[in-house]
A and B are shown apart, each in its own frame.
Chain A
Amino acid sequence: MSRLLPLLAFIALALLLFVGVRMNSGKDNSAIPSPLLGKAAPELLLPELVLPESHLGIADLKGKAYVLNVWGSWCVSCRVEHPVITELAQSGIMVVGYNYKDSPEDAARWLARYGNPFALVVQDRDGQAALDWGIYGAPETFVIDAAGVVRFKHIGPLTPEIVQEKILPVLQEAP
C-alpha cells in the first residue's frame, strides 16, 4: 500500500493541473455583477500610504472621475496587470491604489520594485472597509465618475482589451 502512495498523490496532482489548464483556456472573471453599480461609491475614510511620489490627497478626489485599483503586494495577479495599470495612468487617467490587507512596508517595497502608477494610495490593512465596497479579493478595479457614482467593476487582472473596450468608454461617457 505504501508503495502506491506516491502514485496516488501524483494522480491527485495531475487532476488538479488538468483542471487548472482547462480553467485557464476560457477564463471569465467578470461574471459577478457588483451591487454598487450605478450607486454612490462608499466614502474613502482610509489612511493614506505616504509615498514620496504621491501628490494628491483623498480630498482632491472630489468632483473627479477616477479608477480605483485594489491590489496587495502579496497578490501575484496584481503583478500581471501592473503594466496595464501603468499604461492607464500614463495616458492621463487618475488611478487610485487601494492597498488591501497589506503592510505599509511591503506595499512601499512592491511599488519600488515595479513602479508606482498611483496618484494616491489608500490603505485598508485589515480589510474592514473592503466590506463596504464589496471587495472580496485582489485585484479588483472600479471606475468612479465625477459625481462619485460607481460605473464599472471588474474582478481579476485587467487586460488591455478590458481597458479599451470597457473602462475608456465608461470614462468618456461619464460627465
Chain B
Amino acid sequence: MMPPHLDVDAILADPGVRIVVCCGSGGVGKTTTAAALGLRAAEQHGRRTVVLTIDPARRLAQSLGLSELDNTPRQVKLDGAGSAAMAGRAGAGELHAMMLDMKRTFDEVVLTHTDPRRAEEIFANPFYQAMSSTFSGTQEYMAMEKLGQLHARNEWDLIVVDTPPSRSALDFLDAPARLARFLDGRMLRVFLAPARAGGRSMFNLVTASFGMFSRVLTKVIGGQLLSDLSGFVAALDSMFGGFRARSEQTYRILQAPETAFLVVAVPEPDAIREAGYFAGRLAQERMPLHGLILNRVHAVAASALSEAESLAGAEALDRSGDQTAADALRVHAALARQVAREAAVAAGFTEEHPGVPVAPVPAQPADVHDIEGLREIGATLTN
C-alpha cells in the first residue's frame, strides 16, 4: 500500500497556516527539517518566517547566525541565491531564527505576571532556581510558552517550531493540560494553606481525609522542605492565573486549522513506533496532523543487481583476486538489504495510519550545516 504524497509546498504556501510544528523522537533530524522548512517558506513562498529551535547542533546554529542562546528571534542573512524563483514576484520573505533559553523564558513569564518585588522573591527561591534550570520537564512548558508569545506578537506569517527531545515526543502536548490539572487540584491548596493562613499550619484544616493527607505529606516530605515548598508555591500564586490562561490558549491554537503538525521520523523501528504513537495521539487530541516527513531514506542506484547475486558475485571475485569490484558489490548488497528493511519499516506506519501523507527525504552521505544544504533539503522535501 502506497501512502498519499505529502505536499509540503502547499502547506508552506498556504496563508491560512500560521504555525508548523515538527515533532518526533530524538535524532531524526527535526531541527534540520524545521530550519529547511523555514528557509523554503521564506525564499520560495515569500513568507515572513520565524524558526523556533530548541537545541540545534552547533554548526547548524552557526549557519543560521545563532551564535548564542539569546532567546529573541534574529534575522538570518540570506544571500538571495535561493530566491531566484521569486524574481518578479512581490513581497520577498524573511527568515528569522531563535534558540529557546529555558531559564530566561521562565524568568520572562514571572516578570510578565507578577510585580517586580514578588519577582525578586521568586528568583531568589532555591526551588525556582532548580526548577527553571535543572529539572527536566521545564523545557516542554517553556517551549509552549515561547510559541504562545511568538504567536501573540503577530509579527510573522509563519512560525516553524522544533519540539524538545522529550522522553516522549508527547510531553510538550501534555504540558498545558497537566498544568491546568495541577492548578485546579487540591494539591495546590495544600501548599498554599500555610501561607494563606498567615503562618498557621495546614493541620488546622478540618476534613478527615485532608488531615490524613497532610500527615502523610509531612511524614514523607519532611516539615522543613514542605514549608519551603509552600513558600515557593505561594510566591508563584499571583501569576498562576495568567500562566494558566496562556497555556490553555496555546493548546487551543495547536488544535486550530492555522496549525499544521508534521511528524518527523527515519525508517528505523524506534522512530517509526514513536511516529505512529504520535499520529494516534494527535488524532485523539483533534490536532491537525498534515503528514510524515521521512528523513534519511536510502535508495539503490544499481537497481539491476539483487542482494543475493551481488554477494555471490563478490565471493566469486574474491577467488579471482578482484578486491575492488568484490567490495563494491558488498557495499551494494548491504545497501539493498537496508533499503528493503527501511521500506518494510515505513510500510508498518502506513498500514497503521493509511490516510497520513508521507514525504521521503533521501539520505545524504555527509551532514548538513549550511544554508545551501538546508536549501537542498527543502527542495528534496517538496520534490
A and B physically associate: no
Residues of B bordering A, CB below 8 Å:
none
Residues of A within 8 A of B (CB): none
